[in-house]
Amino acid sequence: MSANASAPPLLETRGLTVTVGGHTVTAGLDLTLSAGERLAILGRNGAGKSTLLATLAGLRAPSAGEVRLAGRPYPDLSARDAALVRGWLAQTAPDPFATTVLETALAGRHPHLGRWEWESAEDARLARAALAQVGLAGFEARQVATLSGGERQRLGLATLLTQAPSLYLLDEPLAHLDLNHQIASLELLARQAEAGAATVLVLHDPGLAARYCDRVVLVFGDGTVAQGPCDQVLTARTLSCLYGYPLKELADGGRRWFVPA
């Protein structure tokens, strides 16, 4: 779906510098992401991909520059205002309290509710529909603590679907998932993009990034990045430099895959 030409980007960075522990992740990054666009973030372990994504989500302050959500800088937004626009999926989800699968999915509706308002039957319907989309229909009464790692990851995605944001920010959403559920999750996110949502995914497989994303940001770990359309940025030469290991490109039916040389 094409973005409204008069609408501001769903996500925009201006001169964004991100640092952690004296390590520079990005320096002066300018980035825009509009409705329907899909962006992958790739890089080696420890390069700062998760730190960058958390900064894009407004969960940590940049060292310099700013991040704008639907045209507004994060400091101007309340937590609820931000949550009505962007959804966040962390690598791991702590579960300090005993809760059921349905109750966890329903947490996605909290930004849409008043302070003293309870979830409605419609909220429950949306949560059940989201659980069905990730293959967790029939799990509603299960305790979250009894789920496998892959089931818990899919529950996190269902909670985001229940939240229904315009911008999805997902940190390694394929972690713990088998191949079947990896592709199913990426196809599901592709459908959200077709419906107008923007997505940012931290991934480890450049072939999946090339297949399911329009654009990519490569985080090299020294403050430099490369960004642009996947067709232009994702090359065997650039990825070999990124990962510090020689890769070669294989083409199959119009799709591109990258494997060790």
Does residue 78 lie within any of the structural domains?
Answer: no
Please state the domain count of the chain.
Answer: 1
**Residue 2 confidence class, pLDDT cut points 50, 70, 90:** very low
Is 105 inside any structural domain? yes
Helices (H), the chain: 49-56, 79-83, 101-106, 121-133, 149-163, 179-194, 206-212, 230-233, 236-243
Q: Please report which helix (H) or strand (E) contains residue 256, including its range.
A: strand 255-260
Range of the domain at 109: 86-164
Cβ contacts of 31 within 8 Å, gap of 6 or more: 11, 12, 13, 16, 217, 227
Q: Would you say residue 251 lies in a domain? A: no
pLDDT of residue 5: 59
Cβ contacts of residue 68 below 8 Å, gap of 6+? 8, 9, 11, 12, 13, 14, 74
The predicted structure's pLDDT at residue 4: 58
- Over residues 25-36, the mean pLDDT reads 97
- The reported pLDDT for the residue numbered 244 is 96
Task: For residue 71, give the DSSP letter.
Answer: T
Does 250 fall in a domain? no
In single-letter form, the type of residue at position 162 comes to T
Each residue of 167-220: pLDDT tens digit? 999 999 999 999 999 999 999 999 999 999 999 999 999 999 999 999 999 999
Q: Is residue 54 part of a domain?
A: no
DSSP reduced 3-state for 170: strand
Q: Is residue 64 part of a domain?
A: no
State residue 7's pLDDT score: 84
End-to-end, the C-alpha distance of the chain in Å comes to 37
Judged by average pLDDT, the poorest of 32-36, 115-119, 158-162, 179-183 is 115-119
Q: pTM for the complete prediction?
A: 0.94
Structure-token match 């501001």, residue found = 8
User: For residues 96 and 58, which has the higher predicted lDDT (pLDDT)?
Assistant: 58
Tell me, yes or no, whether 14 lies in a domain.
no
Mean pLDDT of the chain: 95
